[in-house]
Every structure is written in C-alpha cells, then in structure tokens.
Amino acid sequence: MSFNRQEVTIVGNLTDDPVIRENNGTRRATFTVAVNIGKGENKNSLFHDMTAFNSQYDRLADNVAASLRKGVPVIVRCEPTQYKIDATINGESKQITKTAYRVLSIGVDLADYTVDATRNPRQDGESNGGAPAQQYQPQAQQAQPQYQQQPVAAAVPAQGGAPADVF
C-alpha cells in the first residue's frame, strides 16, 4: 500500500482574523495567508486560502481562532488540494483551478514576535495525565553564553562546498 501525501510549508501573514464555521458538527477555522515575494517595484503578493479543522484528538480550529489575528506572521504546514470552479473573467465564463490548503500545524513566526503558550486539556479525557491546563512560564533569565565572533571569511564556503562546522 502506498501513501502519497504532499505537504508544503507556507510562511506569510494573516490577511484577516480567522473565522470559525461549523458544518454537520465539524468545526473549522478559515483564513488567508499572504506571502510577499520580491521587493520594491517587483513586489508581488500571493494569497493562500487555509482551513484548520477540529478533530477527535485536538482543537486546532478553535486554537487558531483564539490565538491568531490579522497581520500576525505565521508558519503553516499544510496539504494542498486543487479543485475547479466556474468564474467570470473580463465578462467571459471560464473554468479555473484553485488551490486550498488543509492546515496540519501552524505557529507564529518568532522572527519578530514573542508568544505565551497555554496548554489546553485534550478532548479524550487524558489531558496531561489528568493534570489541568498549564500556562507556560518562562524561566528566569539566565546569563547568555558568550560567543566568540569568527571572521566572516570562515563562514564562506570554499570550492563551492559548505564549511564542515556550519551543519
């Protein structure tokens, strides 16, 4: 039996607050992620429609809606799905192919943000061995390790290969 599942990672910003929808008892959060490509006059934006579902094992949709807001930078691991729709473009009816994404996991891009994480109890009654939800408490600031600056030339690959200590 073969199992071919395509996963992609999309990094961008939410264009609006996620919206919770419910259909036949299944809750889902829908939202769009904008990805900016290029700079200056060559800047272009791509928009990706995302759907996060609640399951019997987690509350991804509810957590997305409770945690994320318009403009927040996110990293989304997802599965693409293509489908065809009828559309009118410049007064002409055409069938176009769209791609939507089923969210597998999502997080805030921490390059410019910090977050406080709260663990929710699991829905199957086995939440953390019966422990209540826990608020993440960062440890007291410890002295930061001191690193020696290395010359820039040490990080430049020689002969087209990567330096051995980079990876």
Nearest residue to 72 via CA among 138, 144, 11, 141: 11
- Whether the model clears a pTM of 0.95, i.e. scores above it, the answer is no
All structural domains of the chain = 8-119 (2.40.50.140)
Alpha helices by DSSP H, listed for 27-161, are 60-67
- How many angstroms separate the CA atoms of 14 and 147, rounded? 36
Q: What pLDDT tens digit does each residue of the chain (167 aa) get?
A: 556 789 999 999 999 999 999 988 899 999 999 999 988 889 999 999 999 999 877 899 999 999 999 999 999 999 999 989 999 989 999 999 999 999 999 999 999 888 888 887 766 555 444 444 444 444 444 444 444 443 333 333 334 444 444 33
Do 127 and 57 form a contact (C-beta atoms < 8 A)? no
Give me the pLDDT at residue 124, please.
57
Looking up tokens 């939800």 gives 133
User: Count H helices, E strands: the chain?
Assistant: 1, 8
Cα 23 from chain centroid (whole Å): 23
